[in-house]
Chain A
């Protein structure tokens, strides 16, 4: 997994709440059996018009935000389906960090497993960031847990799940980590099977 430490980039802003996974990537593109190449489908309905031309009103079609690696979005971002394709599509579009007032639960657990940093901030902080991000780049420092505007006028600390932080900083493979606890899992299984034998079949 790609490591995340610091990032300075233009930030695209999408202020509306409830940006659901169908907006992030429509279901018809889930019929792939691969993870890559999904960036062209990200925000498909908003990004292109009916003829397939770029919609100039959409922020990801406007320079310099077409190169944005940071997205600042409205509350309840990523609600809806569990499709990890939503994260893969955003990552393939170039997004490495998303800032919102609130993320939907499943999206929030999918993102860090793909090296994507999610930052939750308060409503006023988001409003200010969105305003300033129109003309200035945004800088994220994960080790010190700070988001700032390039001109240093705004400096906002953020909270972070320590486990997610460690995985992002070190680019850890979570399955390899868990497999180190194999013995512990076996001990648990023996205990649980004793209590609920009907849950174990061979």
Chain B
């Protein structure tokens, strides 16, 4: 029975951050950490200065260029003048306002959602925002983290708060266990397939159950990262011993006496038994096979053993229309075996899958094998300078390079193709990123989302392939 006094983890974090009530439905909410990058911030700083306002908490703000940084020739000036200007403005704006900035030449630079947990800045129970929808990633450590637009970036800079309406609570409980070769990326894609691209709109998702508890903190990041693709602005996992072990000793984690206090506080961050959720979904992990998308929305997902669906089989008329359009864009025929689809490019990277565990899992598949001849380009783009250094220490870079992969400098890269890393018109890319929208990786680009291990075997096979046959 639902207990009216019982609270969810998110209820607790929300209550902790209410500065005051605005009106019957909106509250003023305090923000603990604000992450900034070059793409969504220039207009916010411009307005701030125009209105003669100051940054309220520079000490709670960190900036890093990631979206359009080049992944080669870091010692040379950025070629594209627009990208160069955005990167330069980020540096100037943060300097003018006393905000810490990790430059492109700093080993700590990387994709904003990779570097904050890596530095230990992302911690349980915090409210975290960034002008980027994949801010949901940080929920893996039990933080309430969500993407905001540029007006909100400006609002947080000036006030350290946001005016919000409380989102609803949703819980996704994952039972059973993930079978061999199945990763949290497959789980994330499967969940989006089940609840749809708008299944979590207006909700904060708490991921729970034995499978979530068994996931590493990095694997939880992949899952929380993809929450936005199901419509949820944030997804989170209750902090546990793994979270604490992950954070211990990181540069920005609490120190000395604060550490014990923080650990004691984090222990209070959980959902009460009997707490009420507005929506509950239960997923059986044992049924999940390696997942890959066939269309132009992350909800267009199927098992690698499946076939491209026939749009006329969809009951909902809108979905039917959308599927028809998607197949046209993707250049696919209904009934084609997914594993018969040839690919032109492979991209291993993005805030979804560019952490050390992702690179290890891809390298394991690639070791001693070669990228197929039909592949134009296979890229590995580590999520941060520190991930890159760790991978090199483990010799992963050699495995990738010997197989024919390119080993690059950290950034968003081919996830959205703002720097020179793009997928050409009509080309097909097996990508570990998070969005297969039309034109996402370049105009006319065709994206198939999958896990790092699946991307690795696609590179070897030259087509979509089943990771379970390569182990």
Contact = CB atoms under 8 A, between A and B. Distances in A.
Interface string B422-447: 00000000000001011110010000
Nearest to A111: B149
Interface string B11-55: 000001001101111101010110000011011001000010100
A27 B159 CA distance: 29
B133 A34 contact: no
Interface in A4-41: 15-18, 20, 22-23, 26-28, 30-35
B155 interface: yes
Contacts of A189: 30, 160
A127 B323 CA distance: 20
Nearest to B30: A188
Contacts of A201: 59-60
A27 B441 CA distance: 9
Given A106-B148, A110-B149, A163-B22, 8 more contacts: A30-B40, A106-B146, A161-B26, A175-B159, A195-B16, A199-B60, A199-B126, A200-B60
Interface stretch (A54-62, A79-87, A89-97, A150-158): A79-87
B319 interface: yes
B165 interface: yes
A161 B439 contact: no
Given A15-B318, A102-B198, A181-B28, A202 B152 contact: no
Interface in B137-185: 146-152, 154-155, 158-161, 163, 165, 167
A34 B40 CA distance: 10
Contacts, number: 196
A27 to B, nearest CB: 5
A199 B32 contact: yes
Question: Which of B24, B149, B322 counts the most chain A CB atoms within 10 A?
Answer: B149
A16 to B, nearest CB: 6
B28 A80 contact: no
Contact of A163 (B80, B148, B163): B163
A178 B148 contact: no
A163 B56 CA distance: 24
Contact of A82 (B131, B161, B163, B232): B131
A163 to B, nearest CB: 5
Nearest to A105: B233
A181 B322 CA distance: 46
A145 interface: no
13 contacts: A15-B318, A18-B198, A18-B297, A28-B418, A30-B40, A30-B67, A32-B82, A84-B43, A104-B231, A162-B24, A179-B158, A184-B28, A185-B159
Given A105-B231, A105-B233, A197-B261, A33 B318 contact: no
B157 to A, nearest CB: 9
B51 A84 contact: no
Nearest to A177: B163
Contacts of B304: none
A202 B82 contact: no
A41 B435 CA distance: 20
Contacts of B297: 18, 20
Given A30-B39, A161-B25, A105 B201 contact: yes
Closest 8 pairs between A and B when the two form their complex, measured CB to CB: A110-B149, A198-B254, A84-B149, A31-B82, A113-B151, A33-B42, A76-B198, A82-B147
Contacts of A81: 132-133, 147, 435
A95 to B, nearest CB: 16
Given A17-B319, A75-B198, A198-B261, A82 B83 contact: no
Contacts of B83: 31
Contact of B443 (A16, A17, A26, A104): A26
Contact of B159 (A16, A30, A178): A178
Contacts of B80: 31
Contact of A16 (B26, B46, B150, B321): B321
B435 A80 contact: yes
Interface in B234-276: 254-255, 258-259, 261-262, 265
A113 B149 contact: yes
A202 B59 contact: yes
A135 interface: no
Given A16-B318, A175-B159, A185-B19, A33 B85 contact: yes
A82 B113 CA distance: 14
Nearest to A45: B439
A86 B437 CA distance: 15
Contacts of B30: 185, 188-189, 192
A31 B418 contact: yes
Contacts of B59: 200-202
A175 B49 CA distance: 13
B416 interface: yes
Interface string B66-95: 011000000000001011011001000000
B265 A178 contact: no
B311 interface: no
B417 interface: yes
Contacts of B22: 163
Given A175-B51, A202-B59, A83 B155 contact: no
A15 B322 CA distance: 10
A197 B318 contact: no
A102 B159 CA distance: 30
Nearest to A74: B318
B202 interface: yes
A174 B163 contact: yes
Interface in A65-122: 74-76, 79-84, 87, 102, 104-106, 109-110, 113-114
